[in-house]
Amino acid sequence: MDSGIGLLAASAAVRRLRPDADLVLSFDPEGMPWGPRTPEDLTSRALAVAEAAAARRPEALIVGCNTATVHSLPALRAHLEPGIPVIGTVPAIKPAAAGGGPFAIWATPATTGSAYQRGLIEDFAVGVPVTEVPCWGLAEAVEHADQAAIDAAVTAAAELTPDDVTTVVLGCTHYELLTERIRAAVQRPGAAPLVLHGSAGAVAAQALRRIGARPAPDAPATGTVTVLLNGREGELPEPALTYAEGRLLRTVSPAASQ
């Protein structure tokens, strides 16, 4: 679940680990973007999107959005667990800090500087230089596949990223759809290859663990994809197909797969 196509990264990661898994992608096109909303409003919308997904009786629910995880995860868990395990998306600050070098966290303005993100830095990155980079307009540009706006936002964020960083944490799931463009913008000539840390792979693996399933990447590709747009079945938004993850998840209705 997410307001928009930020959920593609984790969904595609699940698909790669379990090609036989049936996926339900629950969007909130009437309410996106969630970032500028108050925490109370965002949580209300997140609960509605989660309820639409829960009606399909999933084994687990992935919150494919850092901002929703920051503000709404406790409410979602209180509402759905223990019947449906809820897996949040946490910026990969711990593995980035383990590398020891200076790193930057690219995130939405709503997440940058938040108590949640600062807490993760204090818990896992003590003594490691960290730069929080607010990426103004980048998630929105990705959502609409606006290439000029993506280039402008990536360039602006790269300019706020210190030259000595060795690692960038992608603290918004939308950004994981742009890994090579971000790498190209931040990589300094002559420097060691830049390390990018996203969350999708870890989130997908955690979802499987929570339901007692194992990765089976060689399983038959029999899994279906159902898209819910404010609770109504539909198709993946057209901009989603701009990205490799969206093309991987091109909609297959349960009826068509039978």
> Domain limits of the chain?
5-89+201-257, 93-198
Backbone angles phi, psi at 225, to 5 degrees: -130, 120
- pTM for the predicted model, two decimal places: 0.91
Architecture of domain 5-89+201-257: 3-Layer(aba) Sandwich (3.40)
Question: Are 143 and 32 a contacting pair, CB within 8 Å?
Answer: yes
Domain 93-198, CATH? 3.40.50.1860
Report the alpha-carbon distance of residue 129 to residue 102 in Å, rounded. Answer: 5
**Token output for 221:** 């590709």
Instruction: State the number of CA atoms in the 13 A half-sphere of 139 facing the CB.
Output: 29
Q: Is 135 a catalytic residue?
A: no
User: Do the bridges between strand 103-107 and strand 130-134 make them parallel or antiparallel, or are there none, so unpaired?
Assistant: parallel
Question: Are 154 and 182 a contacting pair, CB within 8 Å?
Answer: yes
Q: Is 164 left (phi over 0), alpha (psi -120 to 50) or beta?
A: alpha
DSSP the chain: --SSGGGHHHHHHHHHH-TT--EEEEE-TTT---TTS-HHHHHHHHHHHHHHHHTT--S-EE---HHHHHHHHHHHHHHHTTTS-EE-----HHHHHHT-S-EEEEE-TTTTT-HHHHHHHHHH-TTS-EEEEE-TTHHHHHHTT-HHHHHHHHHHHHHTS-TT--EEEE-SGGGGGGHHHHHHHHPPTTSPPPEEE-SHHHHHHHHHHHTT----TTS-S---EEEEETTEEE---GGGGGSHHHHHT--B-HHHH-
Digit-coded pLDDT (tens) for 10-19: 999 999 999 9
Given this chain, do its domains 5-89+201-257 and 93-198 carry the same CATH topology?
yes
Q: Is 172 a catalytic residue?
A: yes
Question: Are 219 and 123 a contacting pair, CB within 8 Å?
Answer: no
Alpha carbon 100 to its chain centroid, in Å, reads 24
Q: Which of 5, 10, 54, 65 is catalytic?
A: 65
User: Do the bridges between strand 23-27 and strand 225-229 make them parallel or antiparallel, or are there none, so unpaired?
Assistant: parallel
Q: Which of 125, 169, 172, 200 is catalytic?
A: 172
Report the alpha-carbon distance of residue 66 to residue 5 in Å, rounded. Answer: 13
Digit-coded pLDDT (tens) for 102-115: 999 999 887 888 88
Query: How would you write the pLDDT of the chain (258 residues) with one tens digit per residue?
Result: 999 999 999 999 999 999 999 999 999 999 988 878 888 999 999 999 999 999 999 999 999 998 899 889 999 999 999 999 999 998 999 999 998 889 999 998 878 888 888 999 999 999 999 999 999 999 999 999 999 999 999 999 999 999 999 999 999 999 999 999 999 999 999 888 999 999 999 999 999 999 999 999 999 999 999 999 999 999 999 999 999 999 999 855 454 433
